[in-house]
Amino acid sequence: MGLAKTFQKNFLKNAILSITISIIAIAIFLFNSAINDFREKVENMTKIYGDYIKDALVFKDIQYIQDSFPLILGFKDVKNVVVYTHDGQILYPRSFPLHHQSINSPTFDDFDLYFPLSIYDDNNNYLGKIILVASFQRQLHNIIIELITIIFIIVTISVIALYNIRKFTKSNIIIPLERLNKKVLHYYEERFDKKIKKRIDNEIGSLTNNFHELFKMLTQYEVKLIKRANFDLLTGLYNRSFLETKLRDLITKNIPFYLLFIDIDNFKTINDTKGHNVGDEILKNFANRIRNILRKDDIFARVGGDEFVIIIQNIDSPKIITKIVDKIFHKLQPPIVLSPSKNMYHISISIGIVEFPKDGKSVEDILKNADIAMYRSKERGKNRFSFFNKQLADKVESKFILEHELKIAIQKDQFLIYYQPQIDARSNKLIGAEALIRWKHPQKGILTPYHFIPLAEERNLIQQIDQIVFSHVVQDIKEWKERYGFSQKIAINISANHFAQSNFYYKFTNLIQKNGIDTSSIELEITETSIMQNLETTLRMLKKLHDHGFSISIDDFGTGYSSLFYIKKFPVDKIKIDKTFIDDIVKNKDDRIIVHAIVEIAKGLGYKIIAEGVEDQEQLDILLDLDCHLIQGYYFDKPLCKDDFEKKWLI
């Protein structure tokens, strides 16, 4: 029994040492993690609070800062906050120790973290400093409770485990070893040739059985891994990884094929409005419908959320592919009915088709060109298919180059502002002008908005361009006011995307104040369609701008989908009749009726009304008869560069 006692004694000693080290390591880890998390939390709260009062520091709004104290003190663990303005003024809601006021880095003192943050404006000018004081005591209390719980659990489990291990070791290792030793001795002493009966056969048999079961489980798991690596779990189709492997194999062997890149139209809308569960059921139903009309050798894969790819081999004519595509569209005509709700969903798809090797020599080129062709189908109205051709690729390449050049133009401010006069036709006097941007392209010359604004909106560059326009116009107004006593309004087109920016209002009003002009000199034009995209946010921001003195004009009125119920709620000063109603107003009775209706609506709501795109005397006469006398268009003048506008209309 000497071996048993020695083994058990050493085992118990090492187990206790391991448990002790583990508890110490866990305690250190918990404390360090809590410290780091707490520091990060306080840092984030300080930055959020700094952003919250940043504009107030810029405008020296002391009352706003003081009013914000209850907000920050309402956060859990926050004990105090002190704000230093750039001119040395100190603001704090509670007493603050003098020796802590010079803290410049995060500092712990008696379980309190003092976190300083200097605040700068966009031009890196110092605005002030914040010191946020947060208590670590709650976190420390939680650590102690958590540690006691962990110690209790570890000790309890360890005692139970040690008891079972000791029992198992004694009965299955120590005792069998002692018995084996006795039998060996007996073998040598009495019967040299006596076969020793191994008492550990059961354990070895159990271990052998366990290995057998483990092998079976590993084999099953390997099958699952192979399936997961090659198949989409939702639809059961091949996944992107398998598709790309198959494409590489076909390309390497130079086997011709057609590839159909399929995207479900407006699927995101279904997901957002009906939920992902409904979206998933639609995807499965769609996959089953298409799978049932494909041949056994065709490869059908899901490569994205609502994107699918079909590889079709042994086809020697685009006409046959067209017939296959027609079958796909036909299969999707009946609505998808989901159980148990019995709700019906009509879906359509856009397809891009490429042919190997004609349309690409690599997996990347094949998929890229198929995607280009698919988006061509989207542009043509969706629910259709398009074959890839070089012209499509050239168009995408041109778009990419234009985007790159546009970003450079924004960085270097390659833009000019043209002004088109707005005239009161009763007196032929200038009442204002619309600011229209032009791009002074280094190679292509002067480009109108038609050539780059749609791309700017698509690539989220429009806000930067609007900011450039606003800056130019404000400077021009300031100059004209000083030189010519200019008092008319300048209309600026503005995107509703600005209204989602928290600093938009301060940026524009600050620019106005810096240049010393009145907000009443600016008329902000926003299209009725963009107004309706985010109704509540737009309404709130327009009211704020209107209260600040800006005039608000609805551009392209009558071409969007706004409701008069909403329009009357907006702080609108002017409505601009879109050019499309003016172009045929002489010959088209319907256009005259529409314009007359818009004029009457504007008069009834107390809005001014202006017509754009007026080019001849007949159009003007009709508009005057309809009581629309504010006119913009080539009849009076085209858009003019700054110098020409000054010479013709201001001097």
The pLDDT tens digits of the residues spanning 634-646 come to: 999 999 999 999 9
Residue 82 reports pLDDT greater than 50: yes
Question: What does the pLDDT read at residue 224?
Answer: 67
Contact between 474 and 515 (Cβ < 8 Å): yes
Q: Name the band, by pLDDT with cuts 50, 70 and 90, for residue 611.
A: very high
**DSSP states along 30-56:** HHHHHHHHHHHHHHHHHHHHHHHHHHH
Report how far residue 434's alpha carbon sits from residue 287's, in angstroms, rounded to the nearest whole number.
53
CATH architecture of 401-650: Alpha-Beta Barrel (3.20)
Residue 628 reports pLDDT greater than 60: yes
Residue 535 reports pLDDT greater than 70: yes
Mean pLDDT of 77-93: 79
Question: What does the pLDDT read at residue 354?
Answer: 94
- Which tokens in the block code for residue 626? 């309809």
Helix (H, G, I), strand (E, B) or coil at 120: strand
Give Cα separations from 151 to 14, 21, 57, 502 (angstroms): 17, 12, 50, 49
Name which of 408, 507, 394 is nearest 452 in CA terms: 408
Q: Could you report the per-residue pLDDT of 462-513, keeping only the tens digit for each?
A: 889 999 999 999 999 999 999 999 999 999 998 777 776 767 788 888 888 8
Q: Could you report the per-residue pLDDT of 43-76, keeping only the tens digit for each?
A: 888 888 888 888 877 777 888 878 887 877 777 8
Residue 219 reports pLDDT greater than 80: no
The mean-pLDDT minimum among 4-13, 206-215, 292-301 falls in 206-215
Residue 156 reports pLDDT greater than 90: no
Q: What residues have CB less than 8 Å from 527, skipping those under 6 apart?
A: 496, 554, 555, 556, 560
Question: What does the pLDDT read at residue 220?
Answer: 60
Question: What does the pLDDT read at residue 12?
Answer: 72
Report how far residue 58's alpha carbon sits from residue 64's, in angstroms, rounded to the nearest whole number.
12
Q: Name the band, by pLDDT with cuts 50, 70 and 90, for residue 201.
A: very low
Question: What does the pLDDT read at residue 194?
Answer: 46
- Which tokens in the block code for residue 146? 């958590």
Question: What does the pLDDT read at residue 192?
Answer: 43
The mean-pLDDT minimum among 28-42, 95-109, 174-188, 512-526 falls in 174-188
Question: What does the pLDDT read at residue 498?
Answer: 74
Contact between 369 and 360 (Cβ < 8 Å): yes
Q: What residues have CB less than 8 Å from 516, skipping those under 6 apart?
A: 478
Question: What does the pLDDT read at residue 98?
Answer: 58
Residue 398 reports pLDDT greater than 90: no
What ranges do the domains of the chain cover?
A: 2-141, 240-388, 401-650
- Which tokens in the block code for residue 119? 């605040």
CATH architecture of 240-388: 2-Layer Sandwich (3.30)
Question: What does the pLDDT read at residue 209?
Answer: 38
More confident residue, 77 or 492: 492
Question: What does the pLDDT read at residue 500?
Answer: 63
Question: What does the pLDDT read at residue 563?
Answer: 52
Question: What does the pLDDT read at residue 200?
Answer: 43
Q: Name the band, by pLDDT with cuts 50, 70 and 90, for residue 204.
A: very low
Provide long-range contacts, Cβ within 8 A and 24+ apart, for 409-415. Answer: 409/439, 409/441, 410/461, 410/464, 410/465, 410/468, 413/468, 414/439, 414/440, 414/441, 414/442, 415/439, 415/440, 415/465, 415/468, 415/469, 415/472
Sequence letter at residue 337: V
Mean pLDDT of 187-201: 47
Question: What does the pLDDT read at residue 339?
Answer: 80
Homologous superfamily of the 2-141 domain (CATH): PAS domain (3.30.450.20)
Residue 217 reports pLDDT greater than 70: no
Mean pLDDT of 249-268: 94
Contact between 508 and 524 (Cβ < 8 Å): no
Question: What does the pLDDT read at residue 94?
Answer: 60
Residue 190 reports pLDDT greater than 80: no
Residue 195 reports pLDDT greater than 50: no
Mean pLDDT of 244-256: 94
DSSP secondary structure letter of residue 195: P
Report how far residue 528's alpha carbon sits from residue 36's, in angstroms, rounded to the nearest whole number.
50
Q: Could you report the per-residue pLDDT of 552-597, keeping only the tens digit for each?
A: 998 877 665 545 656 777 889 999 998 989 999 999 999 999 999 9
**DSSP states along 534-546:** THHHHHHHHHHHH
Mean pLDDT of all residues belonging to the chain: 84
Q: What residues have CB less than 8 Å from 282, skipping those under 6 apart?
A: 264, 267, 270, 336, 338, 345, 347
